[in-house]
Amino acid sequence: MDFIYSEKITDLFTVYGDFERAIGNATKNGEAISYKNNEIELKSVINRHSSGVFERCDTIKNISGREIEISTLLSRFTLNGGEYQVYTQTSKHIREGIGGWQPLVSGVFGMSDEIRTNQDVNPFVAIFNEQNQRGLAFHIMSSSGFEYRVSRHGEYLDHKVVVVELGIKSQDFRYMLSPGEELKLPTILFYTFKSKLDMDAYKLHRYWNEKKPHSLPIVYNTWMSHFDYIDFDNLKGQLEGARALGCEYFTVDAGWFGKTQLWWDVVGDWQESKESAMRGRLAEFADLVRKNGLKFGLWFEIERANPSCENVKAHPEYYLTEGQHCFVDFANKEACDFIYDILKSNIDKYGVEFIKFDLNGPLYYDKTRCSFVKYYEGYNYFLSRIKEDYPNLHLECCASGGGRMSLSNAPYFDSFWMSDSHGIYTQLEIFKNALVRMPSSMLERWATIRSVEGFTPTYPVGGTQEKILLSSTANWQRAEEASLDFIKDALVGGPIGISCDLTQVSSATIKELGQFIDTYKGERRFWANSECHILCNTPTLTVLQFNDKDYNEIKIYSYTEHPIQEYATIYPFIEGDYSYRIIKKDGENQTLSASELNENGVCVLANYLHISDSFTLKKI
């Protein structure tokens, strides 16, 4: 690593407030570093995981006899100077995870802007030394607003240095720390990498796969069928299709609650609608779901409420108001318990076993001036309490799409809704970009499809065929075409979701997609523990490699955006000098050693627009 190993506390922390300045040397004891003056005590513990990922856990404690104010609190890494590039990501609605490299001239700065931890800026930054071709990736496990700074600094023992600072957002941060109170900084995960293509993200995947076991459910969601139009008989038709596909959960999305059909106007009133939607038959439908062998799920936007909703009127003291939205004040224990009791009553009433948690409004201002530290303490307590009372309840994280798709939320959720865009090509791009900071096994892959029959594809006339259309955005205003083979190849890697009007999908497509899902279930253990390498990432071709940590089995998928060649030569990432049996889609088999694969590679088809290819390598 390019770290400067220093005992100076100012090389390890950036901390300011109305207390005695932290200056001087720290004391090292094994992997722990500590420092104290008359008013504060700082500690840093770094642990190394077998995956190569390091965990840095920092704290500050008030050891004075008075309340102190903290205005800046960041973990600090000091590196040797040199020629660096910095990678960052931004996230926008339906365009999550757009990233890129830029040269480090003077400094690079990123800061979260609101309660959704991934809106605009993702809590991830990487730095790459162009001179030695080595990099460092940093993940901010932030339960608060966050920021990062990468900057050049002047003379340091006659050498210029680069400083990386990561932690709680400093803007309007005024945390009052009581005597004897200890505050945890966001845990920082970091590791070295060689590949600028994916920043050796397999290390992160291996780390998280061992830290938290994953389930990869097959889910049907009602939203992209008829959006918030929810009707008992219509959902019965969707249930028949979901069962035929092999779905395991059936989730009713927004629109099931409140006194009117317009769910946006009644969000926050978590009582079943009697005048619209299911008209009081939601429990009956939940029972029908279970009778068909599926588990029942519901959508909640538990944090947000319309100002006119009954719960806000009854308990305005439990809500924060900003603009046209109200938000549960999770920093208030009574508010947290209040909303938990409402959620629990719905879970028990309908036998809910899957919850899609959404958040569709921004909360920018923290009245406590704690950068939402106390809000997230309450919110994470709320989520932990759900899991304690309902350990088998699957929690899906959605926040206007991928607005909370970050590792800091992964301990509390089982899977992530990557984006409101269900376009198969857009989702593939979002998935690929997310792999540098998330394990693939937590990222849901969705298919929104519709069969259109009677097409005459070309001349001379040779009969008609079915076309499969998919939504290309967050609704059905625009659609795109894809082959069923491409769709199946684009669904691998994580939980699989289906959201569309299944009565408009042909029986042949239902059957073939159902067979694929059945095969996927049989391989679920592999996918739940797989690591991913990005082997190619160009405007015309994407190639992903999935493998177990011992490289006993490797699955490689290629996706051609625009054809400029007949085939592409791909070099798998392999550790060790073993021999592998290569199994291609057409059933062709051959055996090659790892050295032969490294020397000659393997060819994939790339000769058509939006074509996919795949093959499997099994260690002999």
Segment 333-381, tens digit of pLDDT: 999 999 999 999 999 999 999 999 999 999 999 999 999 999 999 999 9
Task: Provide the CA 351 distance to its chain's centre, in angstroms.
Answer: 27
Q: Per-residue confidence at 501, pLDDT binned at 50, 70, 90?
A: very high
Whether domain 531-619 has CATH 2.60.40.1180: yes
Q: Which of 174, 232, 528, 520 has its CA nearest to residue 371?
A: 174
pLDDT digit string (tens) for 236-271? 999 999 999 999 999 999 999 988 768 889 999 999
Could you say which DSSP state residue 415 is in? E
- Looking at 2.70.98.60, 3.40.50.300, 3.30.365.10, 3.40.50.2020, the CATH number of the domain 9-211 comes to 2.70.98.60
Inform me whether the pLDDT recorded for 294 exceeds 90: yes
Whether domain 218-306+339-366+389-528 has CATH 3.40.50.720: no
pLDDT at 454: 85
pLDDT digit string (tens) for 162-212? 999 999 999 999 999 999 999 999 999 999 999 999 999 999 999 999 999
Residue type, 419: S
408 compared with 460, residue with greater pLDDT? 408
pLDDT digit string (tens) for 36-81? 999 999 999 999 999 999 999 999 999 999 999 999 999 999 999 9
The radius of gyration of the chain's CA atoms, rounded to the nearest angstrom, is 26
pLDDT at 460: 66
Inform me whether the pLDDT recorded for 117 exceeds 60: yes
| Both structure tokens of 611 | 């074509």
**Count of other CB atoms within 10 angstroms of residue 152:** 14
pLDDT at 464: 84
* Rounded Cα gap, residues 1 and 192, in angstroms: 7
CB 86 within 8 A of CB 138: no
Residue type, 193: F
Say how many residues make up the chain. Answer: 620
pLDDT at 158: 59
Q: Which of 332, 327, 317, 347 has its CA nearest to residue 381?
A: 332
Q: Per-residue confidence at 274, pLDDT binned at 50, 70, 90?
A: confident
pLDDT digit string (tens) for 137-174? 999 999 999 999 999 998 655 568 999 999 999 999 99
Inform me whether the pLDDT recorded for 459 exceeds 80: no
* Rounded Cα gap, residues 27 and 20, in angstroms: 18
Q: Per-residue confidence at 462, pLDDT binned at 50, 70, 90?
A: low
pLDDT at 586: 83
Inform me whether the pLDDT recorded for 448 exceeds 60: yes
User: Torsion angle, CA of 549/581/515/428, rounded to 10 degrees?
Assistant: 50
Task: Tell me the average pLDDT of the chain.
Answer: 95
pLDDT at 214: 85
Provide the residue ranges of all domains of the chain, joining segments of one domain with +.
9-211, 218-306+339-366+389-528, 531-619
pLDDT at 154: 81
Helix (H) or strand (E) segment spanning residue 311: helix 310-314
CB 86 within 8 A of CB 101: yes
